[in-house]
Amino acid sequence: MSGVPLVEQAAAIASQFLSPRADQADMATGPPVEQIRRLAEAGLLGLTTPPQYGGEGAAPSVVRDCLAAVASGCGVTAFIYYQHIVGCRHLASCSNAPLKDRLMPDLSAGRRFCSLAFSHLRRPGPPPLRVLAEGDAWIFDGTAPWMTGWGFADDVLLAGVLPDGRSAWALVPLSERGDLQASPPARLCAMNASATVSLECRALRVEPERQVKTMTPAELAADTDRANIFFTALSLGAARAAVGSMRSGRCDDLIADAADALEREVESMRAAVDRWDDPATPADERGDATALRARCIDLGVRASNAAVVVGGGAANGLGHPAQRLFREAMVYSLIAQTRDLRSANLDLLLRSDKRVSK
Ligand SMILES: Cc1cc2nc3c(=O)[nH]c(=O)nc-3n(C[C@H](O)[C@H](O)[C@H](O)COP(=O)(O)OP(=O)(O)OC[C@H]3O[C@@H](n4cnc5c(N)ncnc54)[C@H](O)[C@@H]3O)c2cc1C
């Protein structure tokens, strides 16, 4: 480790390495391997892994600032990267010590890479992926509709629903075989290089050594607030990059004023998110996590739209960063979506007076 604060390292990698390659990474047919390797070399793959396993055990605000920096440099890199650090966070908090001892040092160093497939737990209706206990093993049957990083990730944090309504979480090694089949990669208008597939599990048997945890629906709902706060970083990163794009090129007074105003909004939202997360903040002053995330999503979309407007006709070109940021900001409005988040976003889109941050 270099001794340089993690956020500074992430920002330097973003501006010097990720950003110059971002349009190329966006158009690539597979994940940005070199970019992820550069993050690993800086210790950033161990951001959410405790020091006892070789990680940084960074505070949530540091994790968000690092993710925002990466997202401001390259959307698809941030998109793949966050899967890994979220997976490591869940693994670190579980009680399966032998699993952690065996895998966390490699995950932290980036010698193994982890993806996720659990967003379907937040869908209403019959679970698309069910789990039955057979002795002390778990048997997964059904489809996880989304998993990013197929062909790149070594493991997936996979979750399905037990008959009693709890979710069962396991770290499953990824390779195509009879009991685990991936769809062809989805064709996407943003994050197309993320190698996103659906995973079909046919009587996939997971022994205790790969089991991570179970969660009740109430525990999952409580974690959703934390997830919403975490994902603000992607939108704020895109907004910051959009402000940078506005200031490059033909920047007259009007554009400079608009960029300054958007930058003030980014800083104000970042402070509001940090306040939510600060244990010293009184409960009645924290604000609502879903509403905060909705405002960050809205800001990311508006700022990148402003960058498109400033870019003019050229911004419609596939090599122009503004339209890429606009597409990335759009995807961030869908990630880990819940009904409440969707309502909060629609409300903002229909009520422009609610958008202005104080
Ligand atoms: C490019 C891409 C990559 C992704 N990669 C991953 C990944 O690697 N791992 C992963 O786990 N997920 C991944 N996702 C999923 C993502 O995080 C979101 O969960 C997902 O996009 C939300 O859409 P959905 O179609 O799955 O859910 P939807 O079914 O549209 O549901 C979204 C929300 O709306 C609510 N809802 C839906 N229908 C109703 C209804 N009738 N009444 C009330 N509420 C309702 C649901 O409860 C849910 O909270 C990815 C998504 C994209 C677009």
pLDDT digits (tens, 9 = 90+) for 254-274: 999 999 999 999 999 999 999
pLDDT digits (tens, 9 = 90+) for 180-231: 999 999 999 999 999 999 999 999 999 999 999 999 999 999 999 999 999 9
Tell me yes or no: is domain 6-113 CATH 1.10.540.10: yes
Q: Dump strand ranges (E) for the chain.
A: 114-117, 129-134, 137-147, 155-161, 167-173, 180-182, 197-206, 211-215
pLDDT digits (tens, 9 = 90+) for 64-113: 999 999 999 999 999 999 999 999 999 999 999 999 999 999 999 999 99
Closest C-alpha to ligand 1, atom 31: 123
Q: Report how many helices (DSSP H) and strands (DSSP E) the chain contains, helices first.
A: 11, 8
**Contact in structure between 290 and 222 (CB atoms under 8 Å):** no
pLDDT at 250: 79
pLDDT digits (tens, 9 = 90+) for 312-350: 999 999 999 999 999 999 999 999 999 999 999 999 999
Mean residue pLDDT of the chain comes to 95
Give the distance (Å) from ligand 1 centre to CA of residue 53. Answer: 32
Superfamily of 115-215 according to CATH:
Butyryl-CoA Dehydrogenase, subunit A, domain 2 (2.40.110.10)
CA geometry: angle at 281 spanning 280 and 284, to 5°?
A: 140
Q: In 3D, which of 143, 157, 176 has the Cα closest to residue 115?
A: 157
Give the distance (Å) from ligand 1 centre to CA of residue 69. Answer: 25
Q: What is the mean predicted confidence (pLDDT) over 295-309?
A: 98
Atom of ligand 1 nearest to the CA of 145: 26
Closest C-alpha to ligand 1, atom 26: 120
Rounded-to-integer distance, Cα 145 and Cα 269, Å = 32
Confidence of residue 1 (pLDDT cuts 50, 70, 90): very low
Give the distance (Å) from ligand 1 centre to CA of residue 54. Answer: 33
Q: Which residue has the tokens 């009693």?
A: 164
Closest C-alpha to ligand 1, atom 43: 339
Confidence of residue 248 (pLDDT cuts 50, 70, 90): very high
pLDDT at residue 358 greater than cutoff 70: no
CATH 1.20.140.10-classified regions of the chain: 217-354
The CATH fold assigned to 217-354 is: Butyryl-CoA Dehydrogenase, subunit A; domain 3 (1.20.140)
pLDDT digits (tens, 9 = 90+) for 138-148: 999 999 999 99
CATH 2.40.110.10-classified regions of the chain: 115-215
Cα dihedral 320, 231, 190, 195 sign: positive
Determine the longest span between alpha carbons in the chain, in angstroms.
Answer: 69
CATH 1.10.540.10-classified regions of the chain: 6-113
97 CB burial (10 A radius; 0-12, 13-18, 19+): exposed
Query: In 201-288, which ranges are continuous DSSP H helix?
Result: 217-247, 253-277
Q: In 3D, which of 106, 92, 109 has the Cα closest to residue 45?
A: 109
Q: Which residue has the tokens 């889109």?
A: 349
pLDDT at residue 352 greater than cutoff 80: no
Residue 204 phi, psi dihedral angles, 5° rounding:
-75, 120
Rounded-to-integer distance, Cα 20 and Cα 318, Å = 15
Confidence of residue 3 (pLDDT cuts 50, 70, 90): low
Atom of ligand 1 nearest to the CA of 149: 8
Q: 185 is written with which tokens?
A: 């990669």
pLDDT digits (tens, 9 = 90+) for 222-236: 999 999 999 999 999
Give the distance (Å) from ligand 1 centre to CA of residue 56. Answer: 30
Confidence of residue 356 (pLDDT cuts 50, 70, 90): low
Rounded-to-integer distance, Cα 270 and Cα 147, Å = 28
- Ligand 1 site residues (CB inside 6 A) read 83, 115-119, 122-124, 145-148, 188, 191, 194, 196, 331, 334-339, 342
Give the distance (Å) from ligand 1 centre to CA of residue 339. Answer: 10
Give the distance (Å) from ligand 1 centre to CA of residue 335. Answer: 7
pLDDT at 249: 78
Atom of ligand 1 nearest to the CA of 115: 8
